[in-house]
Structure 1
Amino acid sequence: MRTKIPIDIIELESSNYHLILPSQLEGGENGYWVIDTGASKSVFDKNLDNFIAIVEEGTDELHAANMSEEPLTTSLGILKPLLFGKLKVDNMKVALLDMNHINELYQKVTDYKICGLLGSDFLLEYNAVIDYKRRVLKLSE
């Protein structure tokens, strides 16, 4: 199954564009994700713990480019089922981080509350294609 999901392209600063993808979290609540093609792992806001099914024991090191020379220590989690368009995603594994600083940045230019960053792990698994002209993300199982 192939699904097309509209994306929003926002300009945080002059010529600094971010792609925003909507999702539907458990219970019908909307969640907004930044598509981050440079991230190796998807990240979810640990403050939204009501959408996290399992927090795995132990920690993982996440290397975040341009944020710090030192890796961030994160927890790993599995999300409750969510929808990206018509695509249902079960057991999505994510790194869990406090995303308040990201939301403070976004609040300056948009009303979106960012719940996560979609990294290359997700984009590869669902054969993602970004169509900038039509402003859609195409995903397939």
Structure 2
Amino acid sequence: MRIKLPIEIIELESSNYHVLVSSKMIDGTIDNWVIDTGASKSVFDKNLADFIAFTEEGAEELHAANMSEEPLKTSLGILKPLFFGKLKVENMKVALFDMNQINELYENVADIKICGLLGSDFLLRNNAVIDYKRKVLKLSV
């Protein structure tokens, strides 16, 4: 199955672009994800507990570039089913992280709130291709 999802490219600072894609959560709400090709693991905001099916505390250390020299302590989580377009994603494993500070930046600059970062684990598993010219994320599953 091939899926094309619209992406939004926002400029947080001069020449500092972030690529966003939306998902539909189990309750029908739409949330934004930052596509982060440099992140090895997808990350989800632990404050959005209604969308987390399972949590394993103290299981992971996340090395985040430019955020801290020390690894961030996170827990692992499995999300409730969600949709990226027609793609239903079940049992998505994520690192759970408090994204309040990150969301403050996004809200102040672009009036956008994000629920997480889509990392290389998701992008590779779904054979993702970012088409910047057409502003589309292509998934082949």
Query: Normalising to structure 1: TM-score of the pair?
Result: 0.97
Moved beyond 6 Å, runs of 4+? none
Alpha-carbon distance, 1:58 to partner: 3.6
Output the CA distance in 2 between the equivalents of 1:65 and 1:10.
20
Cα deviations by residue, 1:12-32 (Å, 9 ceiling, x for unpaired): 000000001000011101110
Aligned pairs (5 A) from 1:67-86: 67-86=67-86
Output the CA distance in 1 between the equivalents of 2:113 and 2:57.
28
Match of 1:7 in 2: 7
Letter of the structure 1 residue corresponding to residue 39 of structure 2? A
Match of 1:28 in 2: 28
Letter of the structure 2 residue corresponding to residue 9 of structure 1? I
Cα deviations by residue, 1:97-133 (Å, 9 ceiling, x for unpaired): 0000111000122232100000000000000000000
SS in 2 for 1:68: coil
Match of 1:17 in 2: 17
Unpaired runs of at least 5, structure 2: none
Match of 2:43 in 1: 43
Identity of aligned residues (%): 76
Aligned Cα RMSD in Å? 0.8
Unpaired runs of at least 5, structure 1: none
Moved more, 69-78 or 105-114: 105-114
